[in-house]
A and B are shown apart, each in its own frame.
Chain A
Amino acid sequence: MKLYCLSGHPTLPCNVLKFKSTTIMLDCGLDTTSVLNFLPLPLVHSPRLSKLPGWVSKDGTINLEKELKECAGRVFVDSQPEFCLPERELLDLSTIDVILISNYHCMMALPYITEHTGFTGTVYATEPTLQIGRLLMEELVNFMERVPKAQSATCWKNKEIQRMLPGPLKDAVEVWTWKRCYSMQEVNSALSKVQLVGYSQKVELFGAVQISPLSSGYSLGSSNWIIQSHHEKVSYVSGSSLLTTHPQPMDQSSLKNSDVLILTGLTQMPTANPDGMLGEFCSNLAMTIRAGGNVLVPCYSSGVIYDLLECLYQFIESANLGTTPFYFISPVANSSLEFSQIFAEWLCHNKQTKVYLPEPPFPHAELIQTNKLKHYPSIHGDFSSEFRQPCVVFTGHPSLRFGDVVHFMELWGKSSLNTIIFTEPDFSYLDALAPYQPLAMKCVYCPIDTRLNFHQVSKLLKEVQPLHVVCPEQYTQPPLSQSHRSDLMLELQPPPMPYRRCSVLNLPFRRRYERVYILPELANSLVPSEIKPGTSVATVSAVLHSKDNKHTLQSVPKPPPAPPTKKRKRVIEEPPVVLAPKPLLSGAVPLEAFLATLQKHGISEVKVEETADGHILHLQAEDTLIQLEEDGTHIVCDNNEPLRTTLRDLVLRFLQKL
């Protein structure tokens, strides 16, 4: 069993597991941090961005002023932003049988895999994962296609040139494999390959492996996966949470007894407490509004935003913000808010109870009804006429490189009254802000990452006790910035097996058994004998049939009766006579009892001689020797078949047959 690691990003994994002749891709994460190297895509013409100076190397030998622009001492690529894809050379991706998706953040690379590699398999995901994943992809495509950029910068990727560029561009890896965003057509085609599954549903793959998603508590429909056969079990843990937010709680007990547990998607903010961050978010928001400023919250259109809105629902009245407009701007804002209300099965208990009343599970329905929260597909259209300040705007993309957020950065960046509050943990906020410097607006960093922290995960692992743990190498050492914090890493016995991008791991697995089905007819013919208390054995002679990875044992068919007439002279090919092999023997032959048995069968003239290991019996009348020892019996006689057979059967009476 092998694990191919196609992504080095610990929270956006993409691994391929080869297990019992099936090839299973675990998640399909798209590393979007590469877009931080690009200039933002403004929705309306930005004089500031268009006036940025082009980049020329200090000695003047390299002139890339058309491709690279300089802003506040950093260099950015002026081109359509590109993403860092999972590794495509490590193995032939067309051989992948299935792709298992654990949550909607971990499927963003799906079109790249399913559409351009010859993939012909099936993708498995839960319904919320599919629906919300579709929204996020749709949003991404919309953000990109809304402001098409003719230019596609490639010169800077030249190895010789890249070497000369200032950091972080110089250190960017695999830049030649970076790709532009996919189209909506590719998204639709990719998602048409998704097969929906429910939690704890057991899906058979080719009769060899069974897969089953488990609730992981991180987001709507998020799952961990169990991949198992009758005798081996691999658990795949991706983004999971033990906090009580909106999703169904994490199913921990089903992870027990794993041979291998692949652990990914731990919190990216191990030192930031989500509850504390939420409090800080609210107080900063209130402070800015009271001072007459606007609040900008760059965020994804699904996920933590539901919790933020729920938190604000309770906070608004007490903080006297009842008249402040809250705007949610995204091409999928409406869909996201509507979809969140229809997944009762996938919600925590409290929210399910509300649906039974029947009331919408999330209070943002009420915020919308009372006009406190308004949502718009973009800043164009109705929004521009209805927009009032000061206000709070939730909009994407959290990288600040594309989407409506770019507009608000340009609009509000110059005033120190305004505040930008970062809640998404995926991007470094300093890097995100870099192309907007110098900036007057206040920046608050409250990353909310509800995924498991190191303390929770070590407790979990103690509980479920996998034999082996595989994890990204980042989890096996403390973060670079806090190298003294040994509590910010996984310490396990045996130590976890680390992987990085392009690793191929041999998983420590010893398969010893396989399931086989004995058909009733054969089962009825077996003769078990008790060999010791509670343990019986039966010898089995059967015909093995293997089909679709299912093995059955049938009775041996009786040889067909010989043709009754032999009128025609024909050489009948004798089928090779299949003689059942004789069983192995066990036990010992007791001397006295054996002598008695011999006597019964008319053999009375026996001379017994003691030897070092047992006895030698001389059957004088028959001129035969029988050597009886603890672990063997030897019958020596002349060519007398009937006698030998009799003696053999007498000996066998005392032995167990296996």
Chain B
Amino acid sequence: GCFLLLWYNSQLCESNECSFIFNTYLFPLQGAGQDVGRSCILVSIGGKNIMLDCGMHMGYNDDRRFPDFSYITQNGRLTEFLDCVIISHFHLDHCGALPYMSEMVGYDGPIYMTHPTKAICPILLEDFRKITVDKKGETNFFTSQMIKDCMKKVIPLNLHQTVQVDDELEIKAYYAGHVLGAAMVHIKVGSESVVYTGDYNMTPDRHLGAAWIDKCRPDILISESTYATTIRDSKRCRERDFLKKVHESIERGGKVLIPVFALGRAQELCILLETFWERMNLKAPIYFSTGLTEKANHYYKLFITWTNQKIRKTFVQRNMFEFKHIKAFDRSYADNPGPMVVFATPGMLHAGQSLQIFKKWAGNEKNMVIMPGYCVQGTIGHKILNGQRKLEMEGRATVRKLSFTFTLTFFLLCNLDVKLQVEYMSFSAHADAKGIMQLIRMAEPRNMLLVHGEAVKMEFLKGKIEQEFSINCYMPANGETTTVTTNPSVPVDISLNLLKREMALGGPLPDPKKPRTMHGTLIMKENSLKLVSSEQALKELGLNEHQLRFTCRVQLQDPHSDPDTLHRIYTHLKSVLKGYTIQHLPDGTVMVESIVIKVSSSAEDPNTKVLLLSWSYQVTFLRC
């Protein structure tokens, strides 16, 4: 398990040099290395501090399940240290510590999440609270009222809406797939930006669409990497495989258990089985363990705009979340004879109804359990997937793994022989290696940071990313400090006169071989940077121009009259200085560009002429 705390700093130096310094602290909670635990990242960018997700770790039941907020401040409330909190989706490893943080540690600032997350998150939190406090009798935990108070601080976030948290900090949410309402978020301060993906999925499934982001070129892309090395075969194949297995088991009279979490994968698999049953005209019953399920389906109906395109298009004619073949489960059905398919919660077989059914059916080799998602270490799900065939049911030791859906008490203290077929189907909606690469291609980040994954797998992916995109990829390990320097350009307001003059000279396309130089004066006043012509700068600053002129006296012998001498000089210069503007003015002067030439003869000797050459400091093209 790990808790990731990320400090990410940037400042605009006086000379407009910008740099990011960002330190990553990783606090190991269990053993070493990264694994899938809880997410809570603190990003500091352009002087703003943002907390990304506020998850709890499902593997602990003491203080360690919550992030250690004393890393932010030792003395109490967090409000003045955080500019905002953003929650990516409703899974408890991303939002489970939110009421603890806001109500028990103390935070009154804005919390952002999407509408579906805002709707579903408090229900899961309350469920989780009930199990922990009411069933297990734990104290020092948040109350129902705290969940409500916490949710009052939530500001709903719409997809693609640019939310101005304050004058400098803006955030924008993108569709992430993963679960209903999951979002990726782009955080921007000035010209520096970070993208945080939360959990995401790059391939559309039966109920959700694929994650998408525009070419926002963030300085850093923080991506989850749960399936860092897996490159999964096509979704269709997996689905066919799944249906084949279920079908075979049903045909031979077996019972199929599919442990799921109430929201998310469950709906996808229900749609899959529902259409299969319809097509094959199958009669075996499909059950869904009650609890959150009906409510869950209702959320899917009301937030249909968050599902995939096909469902959205046809929802008026046929709402995919109204199932004909799938009925509510009652615990007595588990002993019914004959084949059946049961979806039961929770998903990792660590407690509740799914575990009860598992124990009933484990002894019969005709039966089957299909694990459709990732299992945390220590859960029964994890054990059987690793091929363990004899399980020690230690009662309380097992229930310590937290569930947010069902009852936990059971009294088995015996060995359990697992005879039923165990199948693993990766339906969990995380991006695989291909998906992560695809996202990098979409967003074009300057630096990459992998979190929420296992160290060995992340190392492999890091290599691939650095090779393919030639960008730095960070994989914050325990206590490591990373420094990333970025070089944002400086936005300046240029006077349109100056710009147009320049564009008119050069035409629209600059010629790389013949760079043309433009000149202007940059005025820095308060927070504004203005680039204007020097003349305008003088005017704007209310300054008088100081003329610096030079006059040079040159003597020469010439017998002609003064006007004639001047004219001869004019004719001579004309023939020598090609390409310069040379004028003979009626007031008795010759001008070469802006250099003035006058002639006078000395009083004593009319043949000795004095040539006066006069030019201003700004003249650069001739040296006299």
A520 at the interface (CB under 8 A from B): yes
Hey, which chain A residues are within 8 Å of B122, CB to CB?
356
Known contacts A520-B18, A658-B521, A543 near B516 by CB under 8 Å: yes
Task: Report the bound CA distance from A523 to B492 in whole Å.
Answer: 11
Across-interface contacts of A655 in B (CB, < 8 A): 546, 548
Given A230-B493, A515-B492, A634-B551, A584 and B525 contact (CB-CB distance below 8 Å): no
Residue B571 at the chain A interface, CB threshold 8 Å:
no
- Name the B residues within 8 Å of A62 (CB-CB): none
Complex contact B493–A513 (CB within 8 A): yes
Contact B550 A635 (CB under 8 A): yes
**A 420-450 binary contact with B (CB < 8 Å = 1; else 0):** 0000000000000000000000000000000
Q: Report chain A residues within 8 Å CB of B617.
A: 582, 585, 648
Flag the segment in B134-142, B223-231, B536-544 that touches A. B536-544
Across the two chains, which residue of chain A brings its CB closest to B497?
A: A512
Residue of chain B at shortest CB distance from A128 = B305
B residues 547-585 near A (Cβ < 8 Å) are 547-554
Whether B541 contacts A537 by the Cβ 8 Å rule is: yes
Contact with B along A633-646 (1 / 0, CB 8 A): 11111110000100
Q: How far is the CA of A523 from the CA of B16 in the complex (A)?
A: 6
Residue from the set A511, A538, A578, A637 with the largest chain B CB neighbour count within 10 Å: A538
Chain A residue numbers with a CB within 8 Å of B551 are: 634-637
CB distance from A657 to the nearest CB of B (A): 9
Q: Are A342 and B161 in contact (CB under 8 A)?
A: no
Is A526 in contact with chain B by the CB < 8 A criterion? Answer: yes
A335 on the B face (CB < 8 A): yes
* A240 contacts the other chain (CB 8 A): no
A516-B499, A587-B546, A631-B546 are known contacts. Are A581 and B119 too (CB-CB below 8 A)?
A: no
Inter-chain CA distance A384–B619, complex, in Å, is: 94
Q: Is there an interface contact between A631 and B499, defined as CB atoms closer than 8 Å?
A: no
Assess whether B299 is interfacial by the CB under 8 Å rule: yes
Q: Which residues of the other chain, A, contact B298 by a CB distance below 8 angstroms?
A: 358
Asked if A535 contacts B515 (CB within 8 A), the reply is no
CB distance from B517 to the nearest CB of A (A): 5
User: Which listed residue, B115, B508, B521, touches A546 by the CB 8 Å rule?
Assistant: B508
- Candidate in A197, A360, A519, A632 with the most chain B CB atoms within 10 angstroms: A632
Report Cα–Cα, A89/B544, bound state, in Å.
54
The 8 Å CB contact of B523, one of A230, A511, A535, is A535
Does B388 belong to the interface (CB within 8 Å)? no
The verdict on A534 contacting chain B, using a C-beta distance below 8 Å, is yes
Contacting pair A542 B546 (CB below 8 A): no
Q: How far is the CA of A644 from the CA of B548 in the complex (A)?
A: 12
Which chain A positions have C-beta within 8 A of B315?
Answer: 338, 342
Q: Are A578 and B517 in contact (CB under 8 A)?
A: yes
CB pair A200–B548 under 8 Å, yes or no, is no
B549 touches A633 (CB 8 A): yes
Q: In the complex, what's the smallest C-beta–C-beta distance from A251 to chain B, in angstroms?
A: 11
| Shortest Cβ gap from B514 to chain A (Å) | 8
Q: Once the chains bind, are B548 and A517 in contact (CB under 8 Å)?
A: no
Q: Is the CB of B15 within 8 A of A523?
A: yes
Q: Which of B15, B160, B172, B541 contacts A197 (CB 8 A)?
A: B160
The verdict on A388 contacting chain B, using a C-beta distance below 8 Å, is no
The verdict on A187 contacting chain B, using a C-beta distance below 8 Å, is: no
Residue B489 lies at the interface, judged by CB distance under 8 Å to chain A: yes
Is the C-beta of B237 less than 8 angstroms from some C-beta in chain A?
A: no
For A319-332 the 0/1 string (1 means CB < 8 A from B) is 00000000000000
In the complex the two chains form, is A648's CB within 8 Å of B316's CB? Answer: no
Bound: A553/B502 CA distance, A: 12
B31 at the A interface (CB under 8 A): no
Q: Within the complex, which residue of A520, A552, A553, A589 is in contact with B17, where a contact is CB–CB below 8 Å?
A: A520
Residue on A nearest B170 in the bound complex, by CB:
A202
**Are A358's CB and B119's CB within 8 A?**
yes
B484 at the interface (CB under 8 A from A): no
Q: Are B304 and A543 in contact (CB under 8 A)?
A: no
CB distance from B163 to the nearest CB of A (A): 7
**C-alpha gap A539/B298 in the complex (Å):** 64
**A544 neighbours in B (Cβ, 8 Å):** 499, 502-503, 506, 510, 516, 518
Contact partners of A589 in chain B: CB under 8 A: 546
Which residue of B has the minimal Cβ distance to A199? Answer: B161
Q: Are the C-beta atoms of B510 and A513 separated by less than 8 Å?
A: no
Q: B519 in the interface, Cβ–Cβ < 8 Å?
A: yes
Q: What B residues does A585 contact at CB under 8 A?
A: 545-548, 617
Given A199-B161, A355-B115, A579-B620, A586-B550 contact (CB < 8 Å):
no
Q: Please report which residues of chain A, range 522-579, place their CB below 8 angstroms from some CB of chain B when the two chains form the complex.
A: 523-524, 526, 528, 531-532, 534-546, 551-553, 556-557, 575, 578-579
Are B524 and A537 within 8 A (Cβ)? yes
Contact A358 B299 (CB under 8 A): yes
Inter-chain contacts of B549 with A (CB < 8 A):
632-635
B510 and A551 contact, CB distance less than 8 A:
no
Is A198's CB within 8 Å of the partner chain B? yes
* Stretch touching chain A among B77-85, B93-101, B395-403, B526-534: B526-534
Are B156 and A543 in touch, CB under 8 angstroms?
no
* B161 engages A556 (CB within 8 Å): no
Asked if B115 and A345 make an inter-chain contact with CB atoms under 8 angstroms apart, the answer reads yes
Q: Are A199 and B158 in contact (CB under 8 A)?
A: yes
A227 to chain B, nearest CB (A): 15
The CA-CA distance from A578 to B505 in the complex, in Å, is: 15
Task: Assess the A639–B621 pair: CB atoms within 8 A.
Answer: no
Find residues 135-181 in chain B having any chain A CB closer than 8 Å to their own CB.
Answer: 156, 158-163, 172
Interface residues as binary, A616-653 with B (CB distance below 8 Å gives 1, 0 otherwise): 00000000000000111111111100001000100110
CA distance A534 to B530 in the complex (A): 14
Q: Which residues of A contact B110 (CB under 8 A)?
A: none
**Which residues of the partner chain B approach A341 to less than 8 Å between Cβ atoms?**
302
A515:B489 contact, CB within 8 angstroms: no
Q: Output the least CB separation between A229 and chain B (Å).
A: 11
List chain B residues, Cβ under 8 A from A632: 546-549
List, in ascending order, chain A residues with CB within 8 A of B515's CB.
543, 556-557
A60 contacts partner chain B, Cβ-Cβ < 8 Å = no
Is B522's CB under 8 angstroms from A528's CB? Answer: yes
Q: In this complex, which of A343, A516, A633 has the most chain B Cβ atoms within 10 angstroms of its Cβ?
A: A516
A537 / chain B contacts, CB cutoff of 8 Å = 521-524, 537, 541
Q: Is the CB of A639 within 8 A of B16?
A: no
Interface residue? B332 (CB, 8 A): no
Q: CA A535 – CA B538 in complex, angstroms? A: 13
Check if A584 sits within 8 Å of B489, measured CB to CB. Answer: no
Cα-based distance from A343 to B305 in the complex (angstroms)? 7
Mask, B8-29, CB within 8 Å of A = 1, is 0000000111100000000000
A524 touches B16 (CB 8 A): yes
Residues of chain B within 8 A (CB-CB) of A344 are 115, 302-303
Is A231 among interface residues, defined by CB-CB distance under 8 A? yes
B417 CB–A CB distance under 8 Å: no
Give CA–CA (A260, B440) in the complex, Å. Answer: 40
Taking a contact as CB atoms closer than 8 A, the residue among A361, A536, A543, A588 that contacts B518 in the complex is: A543
User: Are the C-beta atoms of A552 and B489 separated by less than 8 Å?
Assistant: yes
Write out the residue numbers on chain A whose beta carbons fall within 8 Å of the beta carbon of B506.
544
| Bound Cα distance A610, B305 (Å) | 85
B538 contacts A637, C-beta separation under 8 Å: no
A655 to B538, CA, bound (A): 13
- 4 A-B pairs besides A231-B493, A338-B315, A585-B548 with CB distance below 8 A are A355-B115, A515-B493, A639-B553, A658-B543
Top 7 A-B pairs ranked by shortest CB distance?
A: A523-B16, A632-B547, A520-B487, A517-B489, A356-B119, A586-B543, A516-B494
Can you list 30 A-B pairs with a CB-CB distance of less than 8 A? A198-B159, A201-B162, A212-B162, A231-B493, A342-B305, A344-B302, A356-B118, A356-B122, A358-B298, A513-B495, A516-B491, A517-B489, A519-B489, A523-B15, A537-B523, A538-B521, A540-B531, A543-B517, A543-B518, A578-B517, A579-B620, A583-B534, A586-B545, A633-B546, A633-B549, A635-B550, A638-B552, A648-B550, A655-B546, A658-B543
Residues of chain B having any CB pair with chain A under 8 Å = 15-18, 115, 118-119, 122, 156, 158-163, 172, 295, 298-299, 301-305, 315-316, 487-496, 499, 502-503, 506, 508, 510, 514-526, 530-531, 534-535, 537-538, 541, 543-554, 617-621
